[in-house]
Amino acid sequence: MPDTKLNRLLIETDDVLNRLLTNMHKTAAKSAGWSEEGFDPAAGQLLGDEDLQALPVANDLEKNLAICRAVMPSWDLITHTMQFGSGPGNSAALVYLAGMTDAKHLEKTIMPAIQRAWHDTHYDLFGSLKRAILPTSSTEVTDFQAALNWLLYGGVLLFVAGQGSALAFYERGWPTRAVEDSDSERVVRGAHESFVEDLLSNTALVRHRLRSPNLIIETIRLGRMTQTEVALFYVRGLASSGLVQELRARLQRIDIDGVLEINYLSENIQDSRFSLFPLILDTERPDRVVAGLLEGKVAVLAEGSARALLMPADIISLLQTADDYYTAFPVASVLRLLRITSLLVSLFLPALYIAVTSFHQEMLPTRLLTSVAAARIGVPFPGLLEAVLTELSLEVLRKASLRMPNKLSSTIGIVGAVVLGQVAVQAGLVSPAMLIVVAVTAVASFTNPSFALGLSLRYLRFGLMLMAGSLGLYGLMLGSLLILVHLNSLRSFGVPYLPPLEPSYLQTYGDFFIRRPLWRHSLRPPNQMPQNRVQQSHPIGPQSPQSDTEQGGEKDETGS
Amino acid sequence: MRQAVKHLVLTVLIPMFILPPGCTAEIQDLAIVRSMGLDLLPNGEIEITVSIVNPGAEQSGSQFTVSPISTSVAIMSQTGKNTVEAMRRLSFESSGRLYFSHCETLLLNRRLIAERSLGEILDLLERNYDFRPTLIPIITDDSIARLFAVPSPLDPSPADRINRLIREQHLYSQFPRKNLIALIRSLQTPGQDPYLPELCQEPNPSAAAISDQEAAHGNLAIPNTKLRLCGTTIFSNDRPVASLNPDQTKALLMMLGEAQHSIIIQFPSPVDGADVSLDIFRVHNALDVELFAGKPSYTISMELHARLMELHGRLDPTDPLQYAALEEAGANHVRELARQTVDICLLHSSDVLSFGRSLERKNPQQWQRLSSNWQTILPTLPVKIAVRVHLVGTGFTTSNPNQIPYEFNR
């Protein structure tokens, strides 16, 4: 038995209730200045798993209930005692957390079932319930650590008098959101489902798309206090075992109080912790997770988070959308090129504008030069300051519109349009050309499929603007090179973040600048380190109906 | 992380703050020079004249004014012992920094280049990084300030009119377009002399036909004068020696292989002497040199592909004999123009046709022997000119309306 403070107390008094009340809370209350007889949970100490693990379920029903109340002196802990006969041993109790459990289902289905079981089998209530009556997921727990884990995950504990163990079963009933359309990854075609905050629902969303026994889902509980269920998804035989092991190891190393959102995990497990670039792809879409799993990636989902992490990630996968594969490949390729162009525009346009208007005016066509010069007459700020102020104003507006209630967000739009678009120009604080540049940049940035990448590019844009404002095109090139070098140095779970964009690679695996036809996807990308590289053994191209007919005709002749 | 910060400081911040660039200038603070001219004053000083864009006025749509000088343009002049001094003095008068990167044309007065060598004048432009190598020098006999002041109702400024004139005329191979780099190269290349277009102003016939009152009543913009590219100046070494008229310029461009797109030639019909116009759209040229007793002899061959543009008189293009005669007449006309051009060039010892350069390529030793005396040899060079015209089309119709009536006239 481990030498914990609970066990030491147990040996000394052999009275669980007394031990908990007297030695834990009361002592703490006393030391905190509360009265000797008072009971103050706020002054108690942290109760660890090791404290509860060695605390067995007692034969005494009252004792068990008292332990529950002592360990969790919370308002939402419900203990429902049922007396079936006159004897002291003919009683049982249900313990659950209100709100975490479906109380209506419990009252209508489970409680009558328990009563029927008592009437049918007086001699062995516990065994009968365990065998047949309660939900199939019921488990017998013998210590309070396991019992409380069930309780905290929406489970119900059934204590029977004289029984040194409890039955635990799921009756989850906490409020969950319905599956809705994705907010940040909208598609015109394709499925409109997105993940919700409930892990089980999310698991089902993935599982019903990937109905294979090879889809493996492992769970691990992270967060000392939150005990958040975290699930690893991978396809056996596709995902690299080294990758899965590395991910398991990184997750197990996490030791934090709580995991409230999946970003708590991604920040802790990504390779480079100071990079602006998202080294792990996050998505709200189950179909995208399945596509990643089929490429040999590993996904991580967490309870309470409506996003999934996909790893390893590279810059290419961040620029792809689910829509790309739901549209004919020539159209999807054009859209992808447009998206890449927009991304470059959103990153470089303000910096290029500053560099050209402040340093390299000879690069502008003469008519454009005179137009821009005319527009800037009377503007008191230098180009750099004007650009930075305008971009900052837009950022503030963008943040404000995100935080404002929906009814007021249109007001923000009007304020932005009037203040930025009209008054600032009329007051001569900003030139119309600058406004056009900022507006085009903002619109171009909205084509970026990855929200995280969009945020990174937004801050890099400011850096490039400063460099262009200081050194002109030289500064812009220097900044671009620094970004490129940084991208080249990044790794996502050991995989290069910037894959080799050279002709032979693109010819074989390239799905970057253009979306390759699905019938040309014969090999999985090597940078995902899949165990099985072959995606299609015999990739077939489209065939004309005439060739099909000819083949059919031959068959008929052969058959006849 | 510490290492990364160190690298960042070294690579970004130090160059940004320790090496601040001196070439930054806000775009609205620039005095954008669209065209520039150099003239020689009687006292021997150089006068520089620039046409500067006023962006604010240009945006307000003042380009359609009938005033002699558009308010969207400022014309400024200054003098100095040399070009640099004149430019420096001019910069004191300008409200913004004189910005020459958008200067497309350089007007050079003939007096100036006759007195000072072309190389001496171009030296500044070659050294100054502000000037674009695509700057086009033009020769003129008129006052440059007066040329910049010629109203241009359809262009933002007279300087833009000059730029457009050069650009569009070049498309029709009316006048040469030699930029700064090409000019300097031809000056530096032995056995080759430069040539430049000429600009002049002339009365506008429309202004003479319509009175000022009528123009004002109809809200018409009719300037009294207009700009015109009126020929080509040929150089011997770096001095101007003669001028070619527009027809001779066409022949020069055809012989040099610089004719592009479309050249219109007019000549008498071989049948009845009426006017015939051909559009030459493709020219294959060759310059062959042969040595006879140590003396070079040249043959200029031109193969022209043309379309029939306009036909007067009674020539029947469907008749093969008349068709061949038409081709022959066209060839004779071009040959005659080419002969005039070659004679003028040789007479003034101007090697714009690169006779020396072709000899150097063909026989370097012979060129070494003759190059020192090339100016005197040039007028005596025998030059043969061979021209063939292929008439490849007669337009939308093969018939001659003067000879065969239209269907509806029958």
Q: What is the pLDDT of residue B63?
A: 41
Q: What is the DSSP string of A432-451?
A: HHHHHHHHHHHHHHTT-S-H
| Residue B106, strand partner residues | B36, B137
Does A554 have pLDDT greater than 70? no
Does B3 have pLDDT greater than 50? yes
Which two structure tokens, joined as six digits, stand for B52?
Answer: 């500067």
Does A125 have pLDDT greater than 60? yes
Q: What is the pLDDT of residue B402?
A: 65
* Domains of chain A: total: 3
Mutation site for A-interface testing, chosen from B5, B10, B26, B98 by largest number of A Cβ within 10 Å: B26
More confident residue, B132 or B59: B132
What would the pLDDT profile of A390-439 be if each residue is shown by its tens digit?
A: 888 888 888 887 777 776 767 777 777 776 677 777 788 888 888 899 88
| A260 and A126 co-located in one domain | no
What would the pLDDT profile of B273-322 be if each residue is shown by its tens digit?
A: 889 999 998 899 999 999 888 889 999 999 999 999 888 888 888 888 88
Chain B segment 52-71 residues within 8 A of A by beta carbon are: 53, 55-56, 58-59
pLDDT above 70 covers what percent of chain A?
A: 81
What would the pLDDT profile of B200-236 be if each residue is shown by its tens digit?
A: 888 887 777 777 677 666 666 677 788 888 889 999 9
Q: Which of A366, A376, A475 sits opposite B27 (nearest CB)?
A: A376
What is the number of residues in chain A? 560
Q: Which residues of A touch B (CB under 8 A)?
A: 274, 357-359, 361-362, 366, 369-377, 379, 382-383, 466-467, 470-472, 475, 478-479, 482
What would the pLDDT profile of B76-101 be if each residue is shown by its tens digit?
A: 999 999 888 999 999 888 878 889 98
Hey, are the CB atoms on A373 and B32 less than 8 Å from each other? yes
Residue B156's pLDDT band (boundaries 50, 70, 90)? confident
Does A542 have pLDDT greater than 90? no
Determine the average pLDDT of the residues in B374-380: 90
Does A157 have pLDDT greater than 60? yes
Last residue of a domain, one of A496, A521, A549: A496
Determine the average pLDDT of the residues in B6-34: 71
Q: What is the separation, in whole angstroms, between the first and last Cα of chain B?
A: 95
Hey, are the CB atoms on B15 and A471 less than 8 Å from each other? yes
Would residue A366 count as lying in a domain? Answer: yes
Does A513 have pLDDT greater than 90? no
Last residue of a domain, one of A496, A525, A546: A496
Q: Name the average pLDDT for chain B.
A: 83
Three-state secondary structure call for residue A92: strand
| A280 and A345 co-located in one domain | no
| A267 and A233 co-located in one domain | yes
| A72 and A150 co-located in one domain | yes
Does A32 have pLDDT greater than 70? no
Burial of residue B217 (CB within 10 Å: 0-12, 13-18, 19+) is: exposed
Q: Does B135 contact A at CB distance below 8 Å?
A: no
More confident residue, B268 or B126: B268
Does B387 have pLDDT greater than 90? yes
Last residue of a domain, one of A472, A496, A520: A496
Would residue A537 count as lying in a domain? Answer: no
Q: What is the pLDDT of residue B65?
A: 40
Q: What is the pLDDT of residue B335?
A: 95
Q: What does the angle CA A14 – CA A16 – CA A18 come to, to the nearest 5 degrees?
A: 95
CB under 8 Å, gap of 24 or more: what pairs does A40-45 form? A41/A73
Q: Which of A359, A374, A478 sits opposite B24 (nearest CB)?
A: A359
Would residue A403 count as lying in a domain? Answer: yes
Structural domain range at position A211: 199-313
Residue A537's pLDDT band (boundaries 50, 70, 90)? low
Does A546 have pLDDT greater than 60? yes
Residue A342's pLDDT band (boundaries 50, 70, 90)? very high
Could you tell me which of B28, B396, B32 has the C-alpha nearest to residue A373?
B28
More confident residue, B27 or A552: B27
Strand B195-203 relative to strand B225-236: parallel, antiparallel, unpaired? antiparallel
Q: What is the pLDDT of residue B207?
A: 73
Q: Is the link from the previous residue into A380 a cis peptide, with omega within 30 of 0?
A: no
Structural domains of chain B ordered from first start: 26-244 (no CATH), 247-410 (3.30.300.210)
| A16 and A165 co-located in one domain | yes
What would the pLDDT profile of A163-208 be if each residue is shown by its tens digit?
A: 888 988 887 788 888 888 888 888 888 888 899 999 989 999 999 9
| A17 and A43 co-located in one domain | yes
More confident residue, A474 or A506: A474
| A12 and A161 co-located in one domain | yes
Would residue A557 count as lying in a domain? Answer: no
Determine the average pLDDT of the residues in B144-163: 81
What would the pLDDT profile of A349-396 be if each residue is shown by its tens digit?
A: 999 999 999 888 888 888 888 888 888 888 888 888 888 888 888 888
Q: In the 8-state DSSP scheme, what is residue B379?
A: G
Question: Which residue in chain B has the smallest CA separation from A272?
Answer: B1
Would residue A476 count as lying in a domain? Answer: yes
Q: Answer whether A6's CB lies under 8 Å from A54's CB.
A: yes
| A166 and A17 co-located in one domain | yes
Residue A347 C-alpha, separation from nearest chain B C-alpha, in angstroms: 18
Does B69 have pLDDT greater than 50? no
What would the pLDDT profile of A34-66 be if each residue is shown by its tens digit?
A: 444 455 666 666 776 677 776 788 888 888 888
Hey, are the CB atoms on B55 and A383 less than 8 Å from each other? no
Q: Name the average pLDDT for chain A.
A: 81
Determine the average pLDDT of the residues in A134-145: 76
Q: What does the angle CA B282 – CA B288 – CA B291 come to, to the nearest 5 degrees?
A: 170
* Beta carbons within 8 Å of A207's beta carbon, 6+ residues apart: A215, A217
What is the number of residues in chain B? 410
Residue B14's pLDDT band (boundaries 50, 70, 90)? low
| A251 and A224 co-located in one domain | yes
Q: What is the pLDDT of residue A205?
A: 93
| A336 and A303 co-located in one domain | no
Residue A384 C-alpha, separation from nearest chain B C-alpha, in angstroms: 10
Q: Answer whether A366's CB lies under 8 Å from B30's CB.
A: no
Would residue A27 count as lying in a domain? Answer: yes
Q: Answer whether A303's CB lies under 8 Å from A199's CB.
A: yes
Determine the average pLDDT of the residues in B57-62: 52
Would residue A319 count as lying in a domain? Answer: no
Q: What is the pLDDT of residue A286?
A: 93
| A236 and A211 co-located in one domain | yes
**ipTM of the complex, rounded to two decimals:** 0.77
Does A222 have pLDDT greater than 60? yes
Question: Which residue in chain A has the smallest CA separation from B24?
Answer: A359
Q: What is the pLDDT of residue A67?
A: 84
Does B380 have pLDDT greater than 50? yes
| φ, ψ (nearest 5 deg) of residue B231 | 155, -165
Does A12 have pLDDT greater than 50? no
| A432 and A348 co-located in one domain | yes
List chain A residues with CB under 8 Å of B30: 361, 373
Residue B16's pLDDT band (boundaries 50, 70, 90)? low
> Rounded to an integer, what distance in angstroms lies between the CA atom of residue B61 and that of residue B59?
5
Q: What is the pLDDT of residue A529?
A: 67
Does B141 have pLDDT greater than 60? yes
Does A290 have pLDDT greater than 90? yes
Would residue A538 count as lying in a domain? Answer: no
Q: Which of A370, A383, A478 sits opposite B26 (nearest CB)?
A: A383
Question: Which residue in chain A has the smallest CA separation from B21?
Answer: A471
Does A17 have pLDDT greater than 70? no
> Rounded to an integer, what distance in angstroms lies between the CA atom of residue A533 and that of residue A549?
34
Residue A477's pLDDT band (boundaries 50, 70, 90)? very high
